[in-house]
């Protein structure tokens, strides 16, 4: 199993987001310590930068990440 390179500083992985979902432990297993390339936060990190990942973006919000990236390209 592989780990996301963002683990040390990711606000989701480090429980620093408001309203952490009750499923966060399972999400960490699924995304952070597994299929991180499909994580919404990771998508923005790869395309833009760590600093541009919205603080309130959760790993399962891929559609929101796509929308966010699309809007970034247009601006
Ligand atoms: S997989 Fe997503 S939520 Fe998990 S550490 Fe990486 S960027 Fe953060």
Going from N- to C-terminal start, the domains of the chain cover 1-75
| Cα 37 to ligand 1 centroid, rounded to whole Å | 9
pLDDT tens for each residue of 40-58: 999 999 999 999 999 999 9
CA–CA gap between residue 68 and residue 14 (Å, rounded): 23
Number of H helices, E strands in the chain: 3, 0
CA–CA gap between residue 36 and residue 13 (Å, rounded): 12
Q: Which of 29, 39, 45, 50 has most ligand 1 atoms within 8 Å of its beta carbon, as the pocket-test mutant?
A: 39
Residue % of the chain over a pLDDT of 70: 97
Q: Does the pTM of the predicted model rise above 0.85?
A: yes
pLDDT tens for each residue of 7-29: 999 999 999 999 999 999 999 99
pLDDT tens for each residue of 58-71: 999 999 999 999 99
| Cα 72 to ligand 1 centroid, rounded to whole Å | 20
């Amino acid at each position: 199993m592989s780990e996301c390179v963002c683990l040390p500083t990711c606000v989701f992985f480090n429980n620093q987001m408001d309203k952490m979902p009750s499923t966060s432990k399972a999400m960490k297993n699924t995304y952070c310590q597994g299929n991180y390339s499909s994580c919404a936060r990771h998508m923005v990190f790869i395309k833009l930068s760590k600093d541009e990942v919205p603080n309130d973006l959760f790993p399962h919000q891929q559609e929101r990440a796509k929308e966010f990236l699309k809007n970034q390209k247009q601006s």
